[in-house]
Chain A
Amino acid sequence: MPGDSAASAPGQSGTRTERPVGRKASGSRWGRLLEGGLPRGGVQGSPVLRLFMRWVRRPLLPVMRLWRRNIQLRIVVTTLLMSLSVVLLLGFVVIGQVRNGLLDAKVKASQSQATGGFTVAQQRADSAASVAGNDSAAELDGERVQNVVEWMTNLVNSLSSGGQGAFDVVTLSPASADGETGGLGPRASGGVAWDLSVPEALRDRVDDGTSAVQSYTRIFYTNGQEPQPALIIGKQVNDPTGRPYQLYYLFPLTQEEKSLSLVKGTLATAGLFVVVLLGAIAWLVVRQVVTPVRMAAGIAERLSAGRLQERMKVSGEDDIARLGEAFNKMAQNLQLKISQLEDLSRMQRRFVSDVSHELRTPLTTVRMAADVIHDARVDFDPVTARSAELLADQLDRFESLLADLLEISRFDAGAAALEAEPIDLREVVRKVVSGAEPLAERKGTRIRVLGDQQPVVAEADARRVERVLRNLVVNAVEHGEGKDVVVKLAAAGGAVAVAVRDYGVGLKPGEATRVFSRFWRADPARARTTGGTGLGLSIALEDARLHGGWLQAWGEPGGGSQFRLTLPRTADEPLRGSPIPLEPKDSRRGRGGSDGAVRHGGGKLATVPVQAVEHTATRAPIGPLPGGGQVPTADPTALPGNGARVVSRAGVSPAAPPAQRSSEDAGQTEERLPEDGSEEQQGKQEQQGEAFRGR
């Protein structure tokens, strides 16, 4: 439909409708943020799991919020984490260095000790062999073995005797494949448990070559001593008989390990201090920056709240001071500009006010003169007489235009004051209706008043409310095409409402908001003929706003329109809803909907099938609007303040209870404006003039 795009695009109402949607989106974004990496998607299936996740997340929420909002916390925590990792890295490097340094010396000393030992062992073996060779070449094998065993024991003793506590010596005969040891069992000095202390791998490497091989190990003792870390150096050496055996030197590293752990402890303590101190420093430093920033934020808030004289305290010449100076300069310029603008607007207001006042005195003279002439017109020739009539008529119009302009300028200047006192809206309606009777008779219209059984009392400015209602009623009569005009009153919750319904041409899409624009005319050509200031509904809207109330329009092309004034029951109380739905029950859609409900049997509203997206107002029978006609429930779809009209979309299940509906679709349903009410519209404009003439 051609109206569709136009319906939602123009005017404030269009943007207004977006707002709830936007808020929702941002809300979910926050939600996602809060959840962090929690696997939301997978959780959604199971309510139990979801509950659990919520339970887990809840205590974290304040922390997350603090994290998001507090830059100081963030920086301190980041500093702590980073300095911790730096200290850890540093510690590992330092400890590695120290260990290397300590071990290098030990290893060198041990190597020379071991090399000496190996040489001595070799020499002894050689000398023993030569002696044996000379003396007892013919000795029996058994004797020789006996000698070697003895020799070996001596060797171990002598070798180890040099380094009591500094090293131990172990000899192992090669693990020959046949398992024969030749009587040479392993020997070890200082109670070393050789089998545990000498790693298997080392033994193999010693077997493989003749050079010295070293490794780290732990020494285990057979005498119950604590095992110790040690350096072990082994070599294959020949015994006097020429058979190889393995000689190992074991150097305990106890001392070195003690030194190292001392260094580690020191480093850890120092590191911890450094981290903590860095955190504290970061906190202090950030505070230096953050405090002025927070101060600036606070002062900016106060500035924006209108306290323009607020300034930051500036001390020193650093960047923060520059920030403060710049901020203050900005505030000063703002203050200057604002006061300039205020002066300007005050001058302009004065000007408008003065102009209209200055206009009034000559206008009074002209008016009186015109009336005198008008009264005497019977004595004139027809042309002059007609001129006198035109003069008087147009003076009326001129006057009402001037009055409206002055009224609008009063609103613009914020000079309009509300004189609220408890009034019964029925009285006002009665007065307005009786005032509009003559016009209604001329148009052949009947004005019906509904909902005036009980008092409808609200704190309001009777003069303004009367002006608004007179405007609405006169408009409705003028555009009602002789059909009935229904004025409906209702009170519910903290609100009262008066709705004026006509069955005339209605409103085109988008016009429901535009009718409130100043000097807006749907069809300029036609508007001229009836004349009207074009300010009536604008003033009415301002009057409603002054009360903290709403003035809204609904209309459908060819189906008439409804203007609804909602006022809070007590001044200062914010409006949450209106007792009368903006779209009347007997709108075309409403009527169609009830038919549909009947067809579906039982009149069960909730079962009315949801219509697909064909939702122009001219179409589509849908369930009756929620809230029904006089049902005094709040209509939360009502939008505050401006004239936005609210029509639920066909796609939305129309039978949902109002409250629920509001939460679901308040943002989306709106702005399905009916087409073709344009003529109606202009008409409206014209009437305003009428409406005001009565004022």
Chain B
Amino acid sequence: MKGRVLVVDDDTALAEMLGIVLRGEGFEPSFVADGDKALAAFREVKPDLVLLDLMLPGRDGIEVCRLIRAESGVPIVMLTAKSDTVDVVVGLESGADDYIVKPFKPKELVARIRARLRRSEEPAPEQLAIGDLVIDVAGHSVKRDGQAIALTPLEFDLLVALARKPWQVFTREVLLEQVWGYRHAADTRLVNVHVQRLRSKVEKDPERPEIVVTVRGVGYKAGPS
């Protein structure tokens, strides 16, 4: 049921190969090769996950990512040939949840896709507080003074992970494992970028964060409630 994947890639061979692999893993892939048509296809397909190549004809992947993120919290995994910090960070900042650098192994890709999809399984009802925020885990909502704050699923998971153990300092590696579902070491830049994005949404002053606090040299922890 959970398995519609929209593949946005202009390389037909790669797209076809991705299709083979995804189908083999039980997903339902659909394809679009042009950045301009990506958004329309997204609305039409209503995928559970988007695989997005960064280099596209027409609108580039960053732009497409922004557009999709503007109207949906659907997980986006970027495919990129560039692993340089700037490229990755720009991609993540535009709203992607995760990225995977070409060339990748099919298993790795599938693992990441599953990790992104798995988290949406129904959670137990739970109320958490972090700073002046109230988190309804089951209802998937974050409120400040009764005012809802829109977060992507990933950002929500990140916040929940921190809020569940406010006494604990999370290293980036631990967060990667808990939030992204990576068991092996991955790029900690993922964490940095998403913490920034989360702060820009939940902090009153993102320059002086109170909800997600940096512990220098170690990682992050939830601010005092």
Contact = CB atoms under 8 A, between A and B. Distances in A.
B146 interface: no
Contacts of B185: 431
Interface string B98-115: 000011111100000000
Interface in A333-378: 356-358, 360-369, 371-372
B102 A368 contact: no
Given A357-B81, A410-B84, A417-B85, A367 B104 contact: yes
A573 interface: no
B217 A363 contact: no
Contact of B106 (A358, A360, A361, A371): A371
Contacts of A523: none
Nearest to A371: B106
Nearest to A369: B17
Interface in B63-107: 79, 81-82, 84-85, 102-107
B14 interface: yes
A365 B85 contact: no
B216 A422 contact: yes
Interface string A387-411: 0000000000001001000000010
A361 B21 contact: no
Contact of A365 (B17, B84, B105): B17
Nearest to B12: A365
B107 A371 contact: yes
A457 interface: yes
Contact of A419 (B17, B85, B217): B85
A357 to B, nearest CB: 4
A372 B104 contact: no
A462 interface: yes
Contact of A364 (B24, B82, B102): B102
A415 interface: yes
A364 B53 CA distance: 12
Contacts of B17: 364-365, 368-369
B172 to A, nearest CB: 9
A614 interface: no
A372 B24 contact: yes
Contacts of B103: 360, 363-364, 366-367, 399, 402
Contacts of B14: 361-362, 364-365, 368
B188 interface: yes
A422 B217 contact: yes
B157 to A, nearest CB: 24
Given A363-B102, A364-B103, A415 B84 contact: yes
Given A372-B21, A422-B217, A462-B188, A362 B13 contact: yes
Contacts of A368: 14, 17-18, 20-21, 105-106
A353 to B, nearest CB: 8
A204 interface: no
Interface in A431-465: 431, 457, 462-463
Contacts of A423: 217
B126 interface: no
Contacts of B85: 417, 419
Contacts of A415: 84
A367 B13 CA distance: 12
A104 interface: no
A195 interface: no
A412 interface: no
A550 B183 CA distance: 32
B13 A421 contact: no
Contact of A372 (B82, B84, B106): B106
Contact of A360 (B102, B105, B216): B102
B215 to A, nearest CB: 11
A372 B18 CA distance: 11
Contacts of B102: 360-361, 363-364
Contact of A361 (B11, B20, B217): B11
B217 A364 contact: no
Nearest to B79: A364
B82 A357 contact: yes
A361 B33 CA distance: 14
Contacts of A358: 81
A363 B17 CA distance: 12
Contacts of A463: 187-188
A434 B85 CA distance: 27
Query: Of residues A365, A419, A421, A462, which shows the largest number of chain B Cβ atoms within 10 Å of its Cβ?
Result: A365
Contacts of B84: 410, 415
A365 B11 CA distance: 9
Contacts of A457: 217
Contacts of B106: 367-368, 371-372
A360 B13 CA distance: 13
B216 to A, nearest CB: 7
A367 B18 CA distance: 11
Given A422-B217, A423-B217, A371 B105 contact: yes
Contacts of A402: 103
Nearest to A462: B188
Given A365-B11, A371-B105, A372-B106, A421 B217 contact: yes
Interface in B1-26: 11, 13-14, 17-18, 20-21, 24
Contacts of A357: 81-82
Nearest to B21: A368
Contacts of A360: 81, 102-103
Interface string B28-60: 000000000000000000000000000000000
A402 B83 CA distance: 13
Contact of B13 (A365, A419, A431, A462): A365
Nearest to A354: B81
A362 B10 CA distance: 12
Contacts of B11: 361-362, 365
Nearest to A396: B105
A482 B82 CA distance: 38
B12 to A, nearest CB: 10
A419 B102 CA distance: 23
A462 B189 CA distance: 11
A499 B105 CA distance: 34
A308 B133 CA distance: 56
Contacts of A422: 216-217
23 contacts: A357-B81, A360-B81, A361-B11, A362-B11, A362-B13, A364-B79, A364-B102, A365-B11, A368-B14, A368-B18, A368-B105, A371-B105, A371-B106, A372-B24, A372-B106, A399-B103, A402-B103, A410-B84, A417-B85, A422-B216, A422-B217, A423-B217, A462-B188
Given A357-B81, A364-B17, A399-B103, 19 more contacts: A361-B11, A361-B81, A361-B102, A364-B14, A364-B79, A364-B102, A364-B103, A366-B103, A367-B106, A368-B14, A371-B105, A371-B106, A372-B21, A372-B24, A372-B106, A419-B85, A424-B217, A462-B188, A463-B187
Interface of B: 11, 13-14, 17-18, 20-21, 24, 79, 81-82, 84-85, 102-107, 185, 187-188, 216-217
Report the 4 A-B pairs with minimum CB-CB distance, sorted nearest first: A422-B217, A357-B81, A360-B102, A364-B103
Interface of A: 356-358, 360-369, 371-372, 399, 402, 410, 415, 417, 419, 421-424, 431, 457, 462-463
